[in-house]
DNA sequence: TTAAGTGCAAAGGCTTTGCAGCATA
DNA sequence: TATGCTGCAAAGCCTTTGCACTTAA
């Protein structure tokens, strides 16, 4: 498929091509987080001609438009998710590999207090945890 | 220089070769944080034959022995620092590029409360901030 | 016609690995 | 002699870039 645009639709002035539309959908449907390779794999199953370059270029565009957030959760590759209104943090489980989102109001408080104490102007906060999730902790206890 | 060991010294049973000794020293002297490439550059100035592979292999060994911590501060390359007893966090300044360490007792509290609330077993915490440091904020105000 | 998106292939940056040689025990 | 560290080169992985083609305005 080559550069087919949908003239009725656009994202922030940029044409919503078939490729971009599908990629956005796939990220939405991914639920949690998806990396470029997996996104490419899923997109390829519907359109075998899509290129990895387009995936990366689209991801970058989506980020610039604020549609998608890039997460670096300590893996080799970046993960992407639809930007949500609600601030949330991530927990990566080493056992089952799941990425669990959770909220804590304390993190905002913490950053504000550091900002004040240290005199920083904070423009980006990176906070995530790794370990075993509730379910995996439970499974382990039951194994014994 | 090829594989010259110092029989008097060892780190946790592993021979402290001249290369490892120099690399450890360089990381110590780096003060804050250093990446593999810069470490290699500095090591090369004293020993032109040292290889980047040795740098990476040594860094991995140091990590396994708990001598060095790997930091992923959102850059493309990892940064390394001597492991310190005191827990601390990192702030990366976008203006001057400096990595500033700071402490806050709240982060431990925060993690403990999340652990309890969510039922996670947390084995690793990643928390760092980006923005403008105190000095750069000040310089900017004075520019006006 | 012009500007922009795409696929393809190549290149880029960071890191790891295979291999032969050498040092130590 | 056996183990393991080293340098070198090659490969690996993730990501970006150059180029020619194609589409829409």
Average pLDDT, chain A: 85
pTM for the full predicted model: 0.81
Q: Please list, in sequence order, all residues whose beta carbon lies within 8 angstroms of the beta carbon of residue A140, skipping any fewer than 6 positions away.
A: A95, A132
pLDDT tens, residue by residue, B41-84: 999 998 889 999 999 999 999 999 999 999 888 777 899 999 88
For residue A20, the model assigns a pLDDT of 93
> How many residue pairs bridge chain A and chain B with CB atoms within 8 Å of each other?
105
pLDDT tens, residue by residue, B90-127: 998 888 878 888 988 888 889 999 999 999 999 888 88
Q: Which residues of A touch B124 (CB under 8 A)?
A: 74, 129-131
**Is a pLDDT exceeding 70 seen at residue B8?**
no
Q: Please list, in sequence order, all residues whose beta carbon lies within 8 angstroms of the beta carbon of residue B94, skipping any fewer than 6 positions away.
A: A123, B130, B131, B132
Q: Which nucleotides of C are covered by protein (CB under 7 A)?
A: 4-10, 13-18, 21-25
**pLDDT level of residue A28 (50, 70, 90 thresholds):** very high
| pLDDT more than 70, % of chain A | 89
Question: Do A119 and B137 make contact, defined as CB atoms within 8 angstroms?
Answer: yes
Closest alpha carbon to A115 in B47, B134, B113, B110: B134
Closest alpha carbon to A32 in A133, A136, A124: A133
Give CA separation, A5 vs A20, A57, B89, B92, B139, in Å: 9, 16, 47, 41, 47
Question: Do A91 and B125 make contact, defined as CB atoms within 8 angstroms?
Answer: no
For residue B7, the model assigns a pLDDT of 46
- Select, from the ranges A4-8, A134-138, B37-41, the one with the highest average predicted confidence (pLDDT): B37-41
Q: Calculate the angstrom distance between C1' of D11 and CA of B24.
A: 28
Q: Which nucleotide is nearest to A75 (CA to C1')?
A: D14
For residue B72, the model assigns a pLDDT of 83
Q: Which nucleotide is nearest to B15 (CA to C1')?
A: D5
For residue B94, the model assigns a pLDDT of 81
Q: Calculate the angstrom distance between C1' of D21 and CA of B55.
A: 45
**Is a pLDDT exceeding 80 seen at residue A10?**
no
**Is a pLDDT exceeding 90 seen at residue A22?**
yes
Question: Residue A99 gets which letter from DSSP?
Answer: E
For residue B13, the model assigns a pLDDT of 63
pLDDT tens, residue by residue, A97-134: 788 889 888 888 899 999 999 999 998 888 889 899 99
**Minimal C-alpha gap between A129 and chain B (Å):** 5
Q: Calculate the angstrom distance between C1' of D24 and CA of A6.
A: 10
Question: Residue A94 gets which letter from DSSP?
Answer: T
Closest alpha carbon to A55 in A76, A32, A78, A72: A78
Task: Identify which has the larger pLDDT, A144 or B89.
Answer: B89
B57 touches strand D (CB under 7 A): yes
């Amino acid at each position: 498929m080559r550069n087919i645009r949908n003239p009725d639709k656009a994202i922030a002035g940029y044409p919503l091509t078939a490729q971009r539309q599908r990629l956005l959908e796939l990220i939405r449907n991914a639920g949690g987080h998806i990396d470029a390779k997996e996104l490419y794999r899923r997109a390829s199953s519907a359109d075998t001609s899509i290129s990895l370059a387009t995936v990366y270029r689209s991801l970058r565009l989506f980020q610039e438009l604020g549609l998608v957030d890039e997460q670096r959760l300590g893996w080799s590759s970046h993960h992407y998710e639809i930007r949500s209104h609600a601030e949330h943090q991530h927990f990566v489980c080493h056992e089952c590999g799941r990425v669990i989102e959770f909220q804590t109001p304390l993190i905002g408080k913490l950053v504000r207090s550091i900002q004040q104490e240290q005199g920083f102007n904070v423009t980006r906060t990176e906070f995530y945890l790794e370990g075993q999730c509730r379910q995996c902790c439970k499974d382990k206890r039951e194994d014994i």
